[in-house]
């Protein structure tokens, strides 16, 4: 009888691939890890509630709805995998750096997932139950189990292999990270950030976690199994040390660095690992920064990984002294609530948006800067009592007496275009040539679009200006609003909410007119380089139309930095405190990039860039409208267009964005 019980017991053990070596599933060495883990979990929960608390109700609603909208859920999952785990954005720009980030993030993630799978498969008792150690068991799985040499299976071997593989993968990333610290230039980063004390503690812990894990798992590999990495190391250690006395201390050390890492995490840059996920959810829900430090902004701030990629991105850093105004430091001071520094940095920035475009986490630091500016500029006095009159005089003069027949097209040149009359003259000619009937809203002086006020943080004042423009435009009954200035374009698009009115930049219009044959240009032997204005390119996503127009007229050359990497001309209205000299340096840097392939002319599509490059560039600077006018084909006959409007319907999304 007893014999049969014994044999069945032995049989059932022999059946298992893995034997629960310590059935209690506990050992003292897990304490540091558990303490760290509990601390970080509580911290995250409190932080999350705090952030939610500061989000206005209507945003909260948006957020909750986004969490149950299938399309947003899919996008969230995709973004989390691509951005947080695989770091695709970094891969695209700097492959080696991308490998480093993704190997650590994705490798670590896989180790955790596989660890849980092993537990669920082989010792399910310890899976998912807190009282059985679910919090730490899967992490220290190798310590607690005994692999049954009598019953090796393919799946257990495969898991062993995968665990070793991903450990090696992470270790390769860690090795690169160490190497990068020592020689950041090798990975193609000119500048790198100086880490703070908690950063350093967390960093060294992070460096130690995986080598220690390797050691610990190697020491136990003869008991709990292993693969190509841990088994040979176990063999080596045995022959080297001759005993397994180092077994416990390494597991203790592994647990301690893990715990320490979790405790240091909230005070270090590594907070980004979790915050990034939250930021992705917020962003996909369509939330916007409203306050500079609370709510969404807080998520943005803690999502910054201090990677320093924005240092190389920022055009101000052509001068080393300006490094301190970069987003990474701005965010660091925000974390420390250093108001004096925050204000100083907030006012310096050109708001060119390049750091935002290139940031792997897409931390919208320009938006935070704008919100910060509002904290001290929104209260300044203003008096726009004249706006009503301005709106009248602007339009009334232009409608004339043509029997009340109002054109469908309104042209709004904007303040800056009035400083560059050649743009306005060219546009008039183009309208005439294409037979477009239009009303010129601000021919006789108009009011500002409001974006400069917004950028300066004078939100309320901007609101008045925009309201007045909006009324003027909507009252005119137009269907198309054509703009020559990217600054206007961006704000009309994003803030005005003009219903039933299609907003187009003149480059889009011209491109369309050429495509539909309403405008004919001749090809010349000239060569151009196109400068992407910040607010048109990065700000509004218009990169193709201008290039398309230019390549139809001459040879289009490349700038050394272009499209979303284009360098601000230096004239930006975004900066409040950058002085004339510093701006000059930026302009020079930008021109240098444009002249990389020795084009004969610089083309741009913004009156401000035009003015700023103006006499500083050694080659002629022209607006695209101007270039088009210079290359208009001789008309065969005077064509009469039956439709004096723009050759598309305003409802159609025909203008690619």
Partner 1 sequence: MTDFGYSINTSSRMNLDDFDKESFDKLAEMEPDVRKCMACGSCTASCTAGKFHETSLRSAILALQNGQEGKAIDFLKGCMLCGKCTMVCPRGINTRHLILSILKVYGTK
- Positions touching ligand SF4 (CB under 6 A) are 304-310, 313-316, 326-328, 331, 349-355, 359-361, 363, 365-366
Which one, of 417, 397, 419, lies nearest residue 472 by Cα?
Answer: 397
CB of residue 409 to partner 1, shortest distance in Å = 23
CB of residue 203 to ligand SF4, shortest distance in Å = 15
Partner in contact with 456, chosen from partner 1, ligand SF4, none, beta carbon below 5 to 8 Å by kind: partner 1
How far is 233 from 168, CA to CA, in rounded Å?
A: 13
What 3-state class would DSSP assign to 409?
strand
CB of residue 469 to ligand SF4, shortest distance in Å = 14
CA dihedral 165, 169, 175, 181 (to 10 degrees): -160
Residue 183, number of CB atoms within 10 A of its CB:
9
How far is 128 from 134, CA to CA, in rounded Å?
A: 5
CB of residue 87 to partner 1, shortest distance in Å = 38
Partner in contact with 381, chosen from ligand SF4, partner 1, none, beta carbon below 5 to 8 Å by kind: partner 1
CA distances (Å), 64 to each of 57, 61, 74, in order?
Answer: 11, 5, 15
Q: Tokens standing for 49?
A: 């509630």
Partner in contact with 363, chosen from partner 1, ligand SF4, none, beta carbon below 5 to 8 Å by kind: ligand SF4
Q: Nearer to ligand SF4 by C-beta: 327 or 507?
A: 327
Rg (CA), the chain: 31
Q: Nearer to ligand SF4 by C-beta: 452 or 526?
A: 452
For 523: left if phi > 0, alpha if psi spans -120 to 50, otherwise beta; the answer is beta
How far is 589 from 567, CA to CA, in rounded Å?
A: 8
Q: Nearer to ligand SF4 by C-beta: 148 or 192?
A: 192
Q: Nearer to ligand SF4 by C-beta: 549 or 559?
A: 559
CB of residue 448 to ligand SF4, shortest distance in Å = 7
Q: Nearer to partner 1 by C-beta: 343 or 626?
A: 343
How far is 425 from 228, CA to CA, in rounded Å?
A: 74
How far is 642 from 650, CA to CA, in rounded Å?
A: 18
Partner in contact with 409, chosen from ligand SF4, partner 1, none, beta carbon below 5 to 8 Å by kind: none
Q: Tokens standing for 542?
A: 């218009």
Partner in contact with 399, chosen from ligand SF4, partner 1, none, beta carbon below 5 to 8 Å by kind: none
How far is 30 from 547, CA to CA, in rounded Å?
A: 61
CB of residue 444 to partner 1, shortest distance in Å = 8
Partner in contact with 316, chosen from ligand SF4, partner 1, none, beta carbon below 5 to 8 Å by kind: ligand SF4
How far is 231 from 107, CA to CA, in rounded Å?
A: 20
**Beta-strand relationship, 409-412 and 480-483:** parallel
CB of residue 446 to partner 1, shortest distance in Å = 8
Q: Nearer to partner 1 by C-beta: 6 or 388?
A: 388
Q: Nearer to ligand SF4 by C-beta: 101 or 126?
A: 101
Partner in contact with 280, chosen from partner 1, ligand SF4, none, beta carbon below 5 to 8 Å by kind: none
How far is 195 from 201, CA to CA, in rounded Å?
A: 10
CB of residue 385 to partner 1, shortest distance in Å = 7
CB of residue 307 to partner 1, shortest distance in Å = 31
How far is 26 from 251, CA to CA, in rounded Å?
A: 13
Place of tokens 């100083």: 344
Q: Alpha carbon 562 to chain centroid distance? A: 17
Q: Nearer to partner 1 by C-beta: 384 or 641?
A: 384
Partner in contact with 385, chosen from ligand SF4, partner 1, none, beta carbon below 5 to 8 Å by kind: partner 1
- With vertex at residue 284, the alpha carbon angle to CA 281 and CA 286, rounded to the nearest 5 degrees, is 115
CB of residue 439 to ligand SF4, shortest distance in Å = 24
Contact 355, 327 (CB under 8 A): yes
**Residues contributing to the site for partner 1 (CB under 8 A):** 347, 376-377, 379-387, 389-390, 393, 415-416, 418-419, 445-448, 450, 452-453, 456, 458, 461, 465, 571, 573, 576-581, 608, 611
How far is 211 from 221, CA to CA, in rounded Å?
A: 15
CB of residue 190 to partner 1, shortest distance in Å = 28
Q: Nearer to partner 1 by C-beta: 222 or 344?
A: 344
User: Sign of the C-alpha dihedral, residues 232, 236, 242, 243?
Assistant: negative
Contact 558, 524 (CB under 8 A): no
Partner in contact with 306, chosen from partner 1, ligand SF4, none, beta carbon below 5 to 8 Å by kind: ligand SF4
Q: Nearer to partner 1 by C-beta: 69 or 393?
A: 393
Q: Nearer to partner 1 by C-beta: 265 or 390?
A: 390
Contact 162, 111 (CB under 8 A): no
């Amino acid at each position: 009888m007893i014999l049969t019980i014994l044999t069945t017991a032995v049989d059932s053990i022999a059946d298992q691939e893995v034997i629960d070596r310590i059935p209690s599933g506990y050992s003292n060495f897990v304490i540091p890890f558990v303490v760290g883990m509990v601390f970080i979990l509580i911290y995250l929960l409190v932080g999350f509630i705090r952030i939610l608390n500061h989000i206005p109700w209507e945003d909260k609603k948006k957020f909750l709805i986004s969490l149950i909208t299938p399309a947003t859920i899919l996008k969230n999952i995709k973004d989390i995998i691509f951005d947080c785990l695989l770091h695709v954005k970094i891969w695209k720009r700097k492959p080696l750096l991308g490998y480093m980030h993704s190997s650590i993030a994705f490798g670590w993630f896989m180790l955790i997932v596989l660890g849980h799978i092993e537990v669920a498969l082989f010792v399910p008792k310890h899976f998912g139950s807190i009282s059985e150690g679910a919090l730490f068991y899967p992490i220290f799985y190798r310590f607690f189990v005994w692999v049954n040499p009598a019953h090796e299976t393919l799946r257990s071997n495969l898991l062993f292999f995968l665990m070793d593989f991903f450990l090696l993968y992470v270790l390769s990333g860690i090795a690169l990270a160490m190497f990068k610290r020592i020689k950041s230039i090798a990975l193609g980063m000119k500048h790198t950030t100086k880490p703070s004390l908690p950063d350093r503690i967390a960093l060294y812990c992070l460096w130690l976690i995986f080598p220690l894990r390797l050691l610990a798992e190697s020491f136990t590999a003869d008991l709990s199994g292993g693969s190509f990495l841990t088994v040979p190391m176990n063999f080596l250690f045995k022959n080297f040390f001759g005993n397994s006395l180092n077994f416990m201390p390494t597991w203790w050390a592994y647990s301690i660095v893990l715990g320490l890492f979790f405790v240091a995490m909230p005070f270090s840059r590594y907070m980004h690992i979790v915050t990034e996920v939250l930021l992705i959810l917020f962003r996909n829900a369509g939330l916007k920064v409203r306050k500079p430090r609370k709510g969404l902004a807080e998520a943005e701030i803690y999502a910054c990984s201090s990677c320093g990629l924005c240092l190389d991105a920022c055009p101000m850093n052509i001068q080393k002294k300006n490094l301190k105004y970069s987003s990474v430091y701005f965010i660091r001071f925000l974390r420390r609530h250093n108001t004096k520094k925050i204000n100083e940095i907030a006012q310096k920035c050109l708001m060119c948006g390049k750091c935002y475009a290139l940031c792997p986490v897409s931390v919208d630091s320009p938006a935070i800067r704008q919100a910060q500016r509002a904290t001290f500029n929104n209260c300044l006095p203003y008096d726009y009592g004249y706006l009503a009159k301005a709106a009248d005089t602007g339009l009334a003069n232009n409608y004339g007496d043509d029997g009340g027949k109002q054109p469908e097209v309104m042209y709004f040149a904007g303040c800056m275009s009035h400083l560059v009359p050649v743009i306005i003259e060219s546009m008039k000619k183009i309208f005439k040539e294409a037979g477009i009937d239009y009303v010129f809203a601000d021919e006789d002086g108009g009011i500002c679009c409001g974006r400069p006020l917004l950028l300066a943080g004078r939100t309320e004042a901007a609101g008045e200006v925009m309201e007045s423009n909006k009324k003027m435009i909507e009252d005119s009954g137009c269907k198309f609003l054509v703009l020559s200035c990217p600054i206007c374009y961006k704000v009309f698009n994003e803030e005005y909410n003009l219903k039933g009115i299609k907003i187009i930049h003149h480059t889009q219009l011209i491109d369309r007119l050429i495509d539909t044959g309403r405008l004919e240009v001749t090809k010349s032997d000239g060569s151009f380089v196109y400068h992407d204005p910040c607010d048109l390119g990065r700000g509004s996503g218009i990169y193709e139309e201008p290039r398309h127009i230019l390549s139809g007229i001459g040879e289009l050359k490349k700038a050394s930095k272009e499209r979303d990497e284009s360098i601000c001309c230096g004239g930006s209205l975004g900066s409040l405190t950058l002085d004339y000299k510093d701006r000059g340096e930026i302009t020079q840097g930008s021109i240098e990039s444009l002249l990389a392939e020795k084009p004969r002319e610089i083309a741009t599509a913004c009156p401000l860039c035009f003015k700023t490059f103006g006499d500083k560039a050694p080659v002629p600077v022209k607006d695209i409208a101007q270039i088009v006018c210079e290359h208009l084909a001789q008309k065969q006959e005077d064509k009469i267009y039956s439709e004096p409007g723009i050759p598309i319907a305003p409802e159609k999304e025909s203008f690619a964005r």
